[in-house]
């Protein structure tokens, strides 16, 4: 057996640490909600990047899952990339349409005000797709380059929007500088809950 080489041990430890950081997440569970480890959007397989919990005051509202082709912890890079992405929200309580529209409108205002104004027709159409949700309902927004952004309610397509500009506006709700909650964004980026 060869002698102890501290540089070799340090290099091996660092390599193993980098391997652990780049390992994709498997199926996740949070607040009793389990989301699949992959989903398909426009023929592309997206992997669960992370899960976050949206809370309002003391109430648990939904579990949000961010799906990407390649794992990332950088919200700005995810928004900027013209790459497939999706956000799935599994609701933990029933919520009226008016409250959801108010929350999405606040998200647009806080994270993409100018771009949302330029996409006013699409933003209005998106808000028109919002309906009352029941506990257990699922709402998904999925973007695929060249195909646009699809909105799915409980797995059924409710609407589609062309171009990356609208995707940038809608995904900014969760990945922008003022997400619904810092913990939600942190969890979706795989940075813990």
Residues whose CB falls within 8 Å of the CB of residue 47, separated by 6 or more in sequence, listed in order: 24, 25, 37, 38, 67, 68, 69, 71
What pLDDT, in 10s, does the model give residues 101-156?
999 999 999 999 999 999 999 999 999 999 999 999 999 999 999 999 999 999 99
Phi then psi for residue 189, to 5 deg, are: -85, 0
How does pLDDT run across 152-180, given as a tens digit for each residue? Answer: 999 999 999 999 999 999 999 999 999 99
Contact between 51 and 32 under an 8 Å Cβ cutoff? The reply is: no
Are 129 and 158 within 8 A, CB to CB?
Answer: yes
Residue 139: phi and psi, rounded to 5, are: -125, 125
Cross-strand bridge partners of residue 85: 68, 143
Sketch out the chain's domains with CATH numbers: 6-188 (3.50.70.10)
């Amino acid at each position: 057996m060869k002698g102890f080489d501290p540089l070799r041990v340090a290099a091996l430890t660092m390599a193993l640490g980098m391997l652990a950081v780049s390992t994709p997440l498997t199926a996740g569970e949070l607040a009793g909600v389990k989301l699949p480890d992959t989903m398909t959007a426009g023929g592309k397989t997206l992997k669960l990047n992370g899960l976050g919990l949206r809370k309002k005051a003391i109430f648990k509202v939904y579990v949000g899952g961010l799906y990407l082709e390649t794992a990332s912890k950088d919200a700005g890079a995810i928004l900027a990339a013209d790459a497939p992405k999706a956000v799935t929200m599994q609701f933990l309580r029933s919520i009226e349409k008016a409250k959801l529209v108010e929350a999405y409108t606040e998200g647009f205002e806080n994270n993409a005000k100018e771009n949302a104004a330029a996409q006013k027709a699409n933003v209005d159409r998106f808000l028109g797709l919002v309906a009352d949700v029941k506990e257990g309902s699922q709402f998904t927004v999925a973007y695929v380059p060249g195909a646009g952004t699809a909105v799915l309610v409980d797995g059924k397509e409710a609407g589609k929007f062309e171009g990356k500009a609208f995707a940038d506006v809608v995904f900014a709700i969760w990945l922008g500088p003022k997400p619904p909650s810092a913990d939600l964004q942190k969890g979706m980026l795989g940075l813990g809950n």
